[in-house]
Amino acid sequence: MSILVVGSVAYDDVETPSAKRKRQLGGSATYFAYAAAHFAPTRLVAVVGRDFEQEHVALLRERGVDLEGLEVAEGKSFAYGCRYEDDMNVRVTHFTDLNVFADFHPKLPRSYRDSELVFLANIHPDLQHEVLDQMNRPRLVACDTMNLWIETAREPLERLLGRIDVLMINDEEARLLTGERNLPRAARRLLAMGPQRLVIKRGEYGVVMFSADGVFTAPAYPLEDVFDPTGAGDTFAGGFIGSLARSGALDEAAMRRAVIHGSAMASFAVEDFSLDRLVRLSDEELRERVRGFRDLSRFLDPEIE
């Protein structure tokens, strides 16, 4: 199945307790597309400025990402700066320079309109609506959002929830959207707002998926060294949707496998800055980590078998 992502392609300044990197390739659509393209053909819609470097175009192209929908506009690319505290679950945003993103309206090339799986990465909900307005009946639409839109664009965001199948947000966003601290209760409310399935990302505590089929959880992979958590959520989403595309199925078993594939991809992404670890990732390493996830909570208990 073909995949379409719409979101940001950015230059990020990232500071962690151990290192600092300036102008590294980032953006929600970038991380998503790079991870998804490991599994299946992926099309990208985004805007960059004239400063966007050819080596980064080449990196995405070599991965097989379809860049017909990457618009180059007069001005500078979207830029984002953040710092992580010693507790790497805490991220402080330094700056968000929208630049060419400020006037962006996604335009889908004709060849993208029949994409079967769509990921609306974190952009203004009005723009997420604009994407869906241009699509011919996708089989599955997933979307992300952020605090800013929950606080400033709630109406179009709530309307969007009625048009999507899978909502992928973090625990803080789930609480903000519902006003409910308890996650299972927040999940019940969110499912009543439209999506059939909800995936809540909880950083180093892993992921919980809620649907009418029940609840499924995956831990985060226990890593001793996390270098850069930036893009982990988008990489998760790329692995998740990529896995569904490769399997061709959208049932509960496929969704559970997708959660594990997404978690495995995200666990690699945080092992180095930007896309660096994903660039070096082999199929065998990915398979080995998926096996590792399976073993993390597999156990035998003769009393309940």
Q: How far is the CB of 71 from ligand AMP (least distance, A)?
A: 15
Work out how close the CB of 67 gets to ligand AMP at its nearest, in angstroms, rounded to a whole number.
Answer: 18
Among 2, 3, 12, 40, binds ligand AMP (CB under 6 A): 12
Minimum Å gap between C-beta 260 and ligand AMP is 18
CA–centroid distance for 236 within its chain: 5
Q: How far is the CB of 262 from ligand AMP (least distance, A)?
A: 12
Tell me which of 1, 5, 6, 28 binds ligand AMP, using CB under 6 A.
28
The one among 2, 8, 243, 263 contacting ligand AMP by CB under 6 A:
8
Near ligand AMP by CB under 6 A: residue from 4, 27, 117, 268: 27
Q: How many helices (H) and strands (E) does the chain have?
A: 11, 13
- Based on its alpha-carbon atoms, the radius of gyration of the chain, rounded to whole angstroms, reads 18
Least separation, in Å, of the C-beta of 298 and ligand AMP?
A: 28
Q: Taking the CB of residue 122, how many other CB atoms lie within 10 A of it?
A: 23
CA distance 28 to 75: 20
Q: Is 49 one of the binding residues for ligand AMP (CB under 6 A)? A: no
Taking every pair of Cα atoms in the chain, the longest distance, rounded to a whole number of angstroms, is 67
By the rule CB under 6 A, 250 interacts with ligand AMP:
no
Of 80 and 240, CB closest to ligand AMP: 80
User: Following DSSP, what letter does each residue of 62-129 receive, concatenated?
Assistant: HTT-EEEEEEEESSPPEEEEEEE-SSTT-EEEEEEE-GGGGG------GGGTT-SEEEE-SS-HHHHH
Provide the minimum distance between the beta carbon of 29 and ligand AMP in the complex, in angstroms, as a whole number: 8
Residue 42 in contact with ligand AMP, rule: CB under 6 A:
no
Instruction: State yes or no: residue 26 binds ligand AMP (CB under 6 A).
Output: yes
Q: 3-state class of 244 per DSSP?
A: helix
CB of 237 to ligand AMP, least distance (A): 8
Contact letters (x/-) for ligand AMP, 89-118, by CB under 6 A? -------x----------------------
The candidate with the shortest Cα–Cα distance to 262, out of 280, 246, 251, is 246
DSSP code, position 221:
P
CA dist., res. 82 & res. 84, Å (int):
7
Q: Of 25-33, 58-66, 128-136, 160-168, which part binds ligand AMP (CB under 6 A)?
A: 25-33
Write out the DSSP string of 262-279: HHHHHHHHTTSSTTHHHH
> In whole angstroms, what is the distance from residue 236 CA to residue 220 CA?
11
Tokens (6 digits) for 148 = 């800013």
Residue 149 CB, nearest approach to ligand AMP (Å)? 9
Q: Which stretch binds ligand AMP (CB under 6 A): 24-32, 68-76, 206-214, 246-254?
A: 24-32
Query: Which structure tokens are listed for 179?
Result: 């006003």
Q: If binding is defined by CB under 6 A, does position 80 make contact with ligand AMP? A: yes
Contact call for residue 230 and ligand AMP (CB under 6 A): yes
Q: State the pairing for strand pair 140-143/166-170.
A: parallel
Residue showing the smallest CB distance to ligand AMP in the complex:
26
Pure H helices in 54-205:
54-62, 125-133, 147-152, 154-161, 171-178, 183-192
The binding site for ligand AMP (CB under 6 A) comprises 8, 10, 12, 26-28, 80, 96, 122-123, 230-234
